[in-house]
Amino acid sequence: LLALPGVALGDIKVARGHLVILPQCRKFLDAHGIRGEAAADNAGAAADIAARNERTAAALASELAGRIYGLEILQKNVEDQLHNTTRFLVMSAHNRPERRTGKMLTSFVFQVRNIPAALYKAMGGFATNGVNMIKLESYMLGGAFRATQFYADIEGHPDDPEVKRAFDELAFFTDMIRVLGTYPADLGRP
């Protein structure tokens, strides 16, 4: 929790941060009578508080944002769950599909065909080929329950034989597959 220099925790009436971070800090905010307010991003919230010289507002942002915008840390570790993790992706206009380390991850989106058990069947290729899926999220398209897009992360590279086979099976049960990126796994990943 970041605020202007000299501001005390008891002075804070509102804390700003991205929509994702606010519920992750709900217990802390409620315990201190601080109202959460959505911002486009956490660092942007810190910049706005500094620029406006707001003495009753704080930002839920990184220590780095505090240093950049001249804010002080009122309280560290305000998240409700200690295992909260934020994942940052570096995006590029140019695809770099080559293998850069031994352990690679691949992110992709796909839309299943509108047939019974399509998702179950689409996921079968990953299981039978021993490809570990580490994330799967669904999104409704156009507000209709019949049109769903999925976002997935897997361990492996599209050139790996088992990943190629899994993608071949996935293609049979989908209307669309788009690889978003292939990148080295974080060294801290088990």
In sequence order, what are the beta bridge partners of 128?
none
Phi and psi at residue 21, to the nearest 5°: -80, -30
Quote the CA–CA distance of 129 and 166 in Å, as a whole number.
6
Catalytic residue among 28, 56, 85, 88: 88
Q: Which two tokens stand for residue 122?
A: 């689409």
Distances in whole angstroms, Cα of residue 42 to Cα of each of 30, 63, 65, 167, 181: 19, 11, 8, 36, 25
Question: Is 86 marked active-site?
Answer: yes
Catalytic residue among 86, 101, 128, 172: 86
> Which residue bears the tokens 């293998």?
99
Are the beta carbons of 54 and 4 closer than 8 angstroms?
yes
Side chain identity at residue 124, one-letter code: G
| 88 among known catalytic residues | yes
For tokens 């220099």, what's the residue? 5
Active site members: 86, 88
